[in-house]
Structure 1
Amino acid sequence: MTARDFNQDASAAKREAAREPLIITDRGTPSFVLLTYTDYRQLKGELDNIVDLLRQDDDGDFDADFPPMNFEAKEIDL
C-alpha cells in the first residue's frame, strides 16, 4: 500500500493488516510495516501471560478435557 493510500483510507489498511502484515511504501520504497499488536509481540518474543492464553478471540469455542469431580460425602469420626 502506498503512503498516500494509507493516508486516505487508514481503515482499509487496518483491515488488511489484520489478515497479514502490510508494507507501506513511500515513493515505491518499503518504509513501514503495519501489523497487529499480537504479531508485534510475537516478533519481540514476549511471552503470553495466563490472561492472554485463556482469552477467547473470535475463533469460537475450544475443547477442554477436565477430570471428573468427586463430590461424595464422607463420614468423619471426630
Structure 2
Amino acid sequence: MSKTITSREFNQDVSAAKRAALEGPVVITDHGRRSHVLMSAEEYDRITKADRFVGDFLWAGEEVDYELELPIRTLHERDIDL
C-alpha cells in the first residue's frame, strides 16, 4: 500500500517522505492529482531491470508485486454466414 502526501507536505518535510519511501512508494499530489512517486533506489532498481521480464521473476520463484493493466475486452456481435 502506498502513502499519499501533498506537494506542500513533501516540500515541508522531505526527510519524512524519504523515510516513508523506504516502506513503500509515496505518491505526491499537486492540486489533488498524482504528479510524482517517490521510492527507494533499491525498489527502483528492482522494478526497472530491463533485462528481465515478469516471467523471469516467476520462474525464479521471486515474489512479484505488479499490477497489470489489461485493456477491457469487448465482444462484437457479427452475422454468421452458413
Shorter-chain-normalised TM-score: which range?
0.5 to 0.7
Question: 1:28 is matched with which residue?
Answer: 32
> Gaps spanning 5+ residues in structure 2: where?
52-82
**Paired position in structure 2 for 1:13:** 17
Deviations for 1:9-48, whole angstroms, at most 9, x for unmatched residues? 001101110111100000010000000001001111167x
Aligned residues with identical type, % of pairs: 45
Greater gyration radius = 1
Structure having the larger proportion of residues in helix: 1
What TM-score do the two structures reach when normalised by structure 2?
0.54
* Secondary structure of the structure 2 residue equivalent to 1:20: coil
Report how many residues are paired: 47
- Structure with the larger strand share: 2
